[in-house]
Amino acid sequence: MDSFNLGTLLLFFFLHWMDGTDANSHWTYKDMAQWSKSFPDCGGVWQSPIDVETSALHHDPSLMPVKVVGYHKPAHKPFTLSNNGHTVKMSLPACFRLRGLPWKFTAVQLHFHWGRDWDGSGGLAGGSEHTVDGRRSAAELHVVHYNSDLYPNVSVAQSQRDGLAVLGVLIETGDDNNSAYENIFKYLEFIKYAGQQTPIPSFNVRSLLPTDLGRYFRYNGSLTTPPCYQSVLWTVFAEKVTVSRTQLKNLETALFSNSEKDPKSVPLQDNFRTTQPLNQRVVLASFVPDSITRYTLGKLCAAAAMVIILVVKVKQFKEHDKEQQQDTAFKTDPDPEKLEAPPKVEA
């Protein structure tokens, strides 16, 4: 009897532990507000993605163009394309690396985020994670690397403050097919369901990136999916890439988030996290964005009013006699909106 009770008790704790494990490993984009309950880092203050507000960027002339090593050479082995229930992911060989950062970063994988029924308006139907001045793009590509100078693998690196570097590529739509992205999209039919994977021929991965790797935004952030570790040095390129509307439609409709055995299929769509508060973080730009030197309507109106005031003052000034003119001096206040020296982003 005692042994029976002991066995029952052990079974209870085992099942309870299994339930807790499943709860911690399972998440969806519909319960984003609940992520932090199972994954505490998701409630951190340095979360990603963010809205890149170009008028608030700090230009850092020391930021050099991103250097990708090995990307342009097709690998000796096929890439593995998989559906993990949250996104479509493609493995990358260890010979793909990033240089120009404080450490050497080795590529691990790339994946996509998208929405549904994109109409090009930049609204909620778009699926990019990062936004620029509040505008969402059609989709987004992330290329994930880990700090191979300091850590043996991505599993160890991902939870370390300086562990990861991710390239973000914003995707828009046009009329013409993008042949580089078709190297991936044409195989989506083989990974329709979660847990499926297929080998695909290797190709020039550099062709997935923008032409200009010298114009980008950089900030410290996190993984955009659980466990949301705040370990990512983000590089989001200013130049966007374009795929055809047909290609995007294929990405939006080809995949399901459930396994093939499930009786009900759930389309894999809207797999993007909403933008997170910046919380005093500094976002650097490797170039001078137009909006930094562009005047807002309010500033233009204020400048126009100042001009009118000055014209009136000059007219009044000319009406005074010469003695009064000699005693009169115009004084101008310093520009109250003069920018301070930009702080540096911690690598």
- pLDDT at residue 74, rounded to an integer: 75
Residue percentage of the chain with pLDDT more than 70: 74
Same-domain status, 229 and 314: no
- Residue 328 in any domain: the answer is no
Residue 120 pLDDT: 57
First to last CA, the chain: 62
Reply yes or no on whether the pLDDT at 112 is more than 80.
yes
Q: Are residues 40 and 168 in the same domain?
A: yes
Region 196-213: mean pLDDT is: 97
**Which position has the higher pLDDT, 207 or 15?**
207
Residue 1 domain flag: no
Per-residue pLDDT reduced to its tens digit, 70-90: 999 877 899 999 999 999 999
Instruction: Reduce the secondary structure of 101-123 to three states and give it as a string.
Output: CCCCEEEEEEEEEECCCCCCCCC
| Same domain for 307 and 251 | no
Identify whether residues 180 and 304 lie together within a single domain: no
Q: Which of 16, 59, 86, 113 is the catalytic position?
A: 86
Q: Is residue 62 part of a domain?
A: yes
192 and 297 housed in the same domain: no
Short-list 141, 178, 177, CA closest to 49: 141
| Alpha-carbon span 275 to 47, nearest angstrom | 9
pLDDT digits (tens, 9 = 90+) for 116-161: 986 655 445 689 999 999 999 999 999 999 999 999 999 999 999 9
Does residue 23 belong to any structural domain of this protein? no
What is the Cα–Cα distance from 331 to 328, expressed in whole angstroms? 10
Q: Is 145 a catalytic residue?
A: no
Spatial distance between the Cα atoms of 272 and 87, rounded to a whole number of angstroms: 10
Total number of domains in the chain: 2
pLDDT tier at 6, thresholds 50, 70, 90: very low
pLDDT at position 315 is: 52
Q: Which helix (H) or strand (E) holds 241?
A: strand 241-244
pLDDT digits over 250-281, tens only? 999 999 999 999 989 999 999 999 999 999 99
- Residue 195 DSSP code: T
- Residue 154 phi, psi (nearest 5): -70, -30
Which structural domain range is residue 211 located in? 29-288
Last residue of a domain, one of 288, 311, 340: 288
Q: Are residues 58 and 88 part of one domain? A: yes
* Encoded tokens for 171: 């995707």
Confidence of residue 200 (pLDDT cuts 50, 70, 90): very high
Q: What is the mean pLDDT of the chain?
A: 82
Kindly state whether residue 337 falls inside one of the protein's structural domains: no
Q: Examine the domain organization and report whether 59 and 41 are in the same domain.
A: yes
* Greatest alpha-carbon span in the chain: 116
CA dihedral 89→90→91→95, nearest 10 degrees, is: -130
How many Cβ atoms from other residues are within 10 Å of residue 80's Cβ?
15
pLDDT top residue among 335 and 119: 119
Q: Specify if 142 maps to a domain.
A: yes
Confidence category of residue 26, pLDDT binned at 50, 70, 90: confident
Contacts of 135 (CB under 8 A, 6+ apart): 122
Domain-embedded: residue 14: no
Same domain membership, residue 224 and residue 314: no
CA distance 184 to 201: 9
- Are residues 277 and 178 part of one domain? yes
Quick one: average pLDDT of 5-32?
53
Same domain, 233 and 316: no
- pLDDT given at position 329: 29
Please state the rounded mean pLDDT for residues 217-224.
98
- Alpha carbon distance 332, 275 (integer Å): 41
Q: What is the pLDDT of residue 126?
A: 87
- 308 in the same domain as 192: no
**CATH number of residue 36's parent domain:** 3.10.200.10
154 located within any domain: yes
Whether 245 and 210 share a structural domain: yes
Q: What is the pTM of this model?
A: 0.77
Q: For position 288, what pLDDT does the model report? A: 94
The pLDDT of residue 117 is 80
